[in-house]
Amino acid sequence: MAEPDTLLAYNIYNSYNKDVVGYLVCVAQSDRDPDMQGYAVRLSAFVANVCIAILITWSEEEVRSSVNLVLLQVYTILLATAISLIRHNLSIADAHFTLTITISPLGVYFVYSLYRFVRKRPNHLYARLGTSRSSKVIIAILTTIMLAWWIVFDLLIYFSNIFKGEDCNVTFAGWLLYSIIESMLTLSYAFLLIPVLPIFWIIYFIRHFKDIRNEYKRHKAKPRDTWRVFSWVQRGYLAVKLFIIAQWDVIALSHRWLFFLFIFIFYVSWGSSLILWAVDTRVWYYELLLAALGTNPGNSKSELPAQSFDPLGYGQLLAIAVIIEPLYAVLRLAFFRRREIGRWLFLQLPKSLWHGIVFILTGKRNPWKTIREKRLLGESKDGLDFGEVPISRRSSGVYEEKWSNEDLELGKTAQVIFPRTG
pLDDT at 82 over 50: yes
Q: What local confidence, expressed as pLDDT, does residue 311 receive?
A: 61
What percentage of the chain has pLDDT greater than the value 90? 24
More confident residue, 391 or 168: 168
Q: What span, in angstroms and rounded, lies between the C-alpha atoms of 369 and 418?
A: 39
Q: What span, in angstroms and rounded, lies between the C-alpha atoms of 263 and 105?
A: 8
Q: Band the pLDDT of 34: cuts 50, 70, 90.
A: confident
Residue 20: inside a domain, yes or no? yes
Q: What span, in angstroms and rounded, lies between the C-alpha atoms of 141 and 126?
A: 13
Q: What local confidence, expressed as pLDDT, does residue 144 receive?
A: 94
Residue 265: inside a domain, yes or no? no
Q: What local confidence, expressed as pLDDT, does residue 293 receive?
A: 66
pLDDT at 53 over 80: yes
Q: Band the pLDDT of 17: cuts 50, 70, 90.
A: low
Q: What span, in angstroms and rounded, lies between the C-alpha atoms of 51 and 66?
A: 9
Q: What span, in angstroms and rounded, lies between the C-alpha atoms of 285 and 185?
A: 11
Query: Do the Cβ atoms of 414 and 137 come closer than 8 Å?
Result: yes
When pLDDT is averaged across residues 344-358 and rounded to a whole number, the result is 88
Count the domains in the chain.
1
Stated pTM of the model: 0.79
Residue 47: inside a domain, yes or no? yes
Residue 374: inside a domain, yes or no? no
Tell me the one-letter amino acid at 299: N
pLDDT at 391 over 70: no
Q: State the angle between helix axes of 405-417 and 105-118 in degrees (0 to 180), rounded to the nearest 10.
A: 100
Q: What span, in angstroms and rounded, lies between the C-alpha atoms of 97 and 81?
A: 10
Residue 204: inside a domain, yes or no? no
Q: State the angle between helix axes of 324-336 and 64-86 in degrees (0 to 180), rounded to the nearest 10.
A: 160
Per the structure, the complete domain to which residue 148 belongs is given by 13-188+275-339
Q: Band the pLDDT of 251: cuts 50, 70, 90.
A: very high
The string of pLDDT tens digits covering residues 290-304 is 776 665 555 544 445
Q: What span, in angstroms and rounded, lies between the C-alpha atoms of 319 and 33?
A: 14
Query: Do the Cβ atoms of 283 and 241 come closer than 8 Å?
Result: no
Give the CA distances from residue 102 to residues 36, 75, 88, 108, 145, in Å, rounded to whole numbers and listed in that order.
Answer: 12, 9, 21, 9, 13
Residue 17: inside a domain, yes or no? yes
Q: Band the pLDDT of 22: cuts 50, 70, 90.
A: confident
More confident residue, 289 or 351: 351
Q: Band the pLDDT of 203: cuts 50, 70, 90.
A: very high
Tell me the one-letter amino acid at 40: A
Mean pLDDT of the chain: 78
SS3 of the chain: CCCHHHCHHHHHHHHCCHHHHHHHHHHHCCCCCHHHHCHHHHHHHHHHHHHHHHHHHHCCCCCHHHHHHHHHHHHHHHHHHHHHHHCCCCCHHHHHHHHHHHCCHHHHHHHHHHHHHHCCCCCHHHHCCCCCHHHHHHHHHHHHHHHHHHHHHHHHHHHCCCCCCCCCCCCHHHHHHHHHHHHHHHCCCCCCCCCHHHHHHHHHHHHCHHHHHHHHHHHHCCCCCCCCCCHHHHHHHHHHHHHHHHHHHHHHHHCHHHHHHHHHHHHHHHHHHCCCCCCCHHHHHHHHHHHHCCCCHHHHHHHCCCCCCCCCCHHHHHHHHHHHHHHHHHHHHHHHCHHHHHHHHHHHHHHHHHHHHHHHHHCCCCHHHHHHHHHHCCCCCCCCCCCCCCCCCCCCCCCCCCCCHHHHHHHHHHHHHCCCCC
Q: What span, in angstroms and rounded, lies between the C-alpha atoms of 372 and 374?
A: 5
Residue 376: inside a domain, yes or no? no
Q: Band the pLDDT of 372: cuts 50, 70, 90.
A: confident
Residue 288: inside a domain, yes or no? yes
Q: What local confidence, expressed as pLDDT, does residue 309 receive?
A: 57
Q: What local confidence, expressed as pLDDT, does residue 148 receive?
A: 93
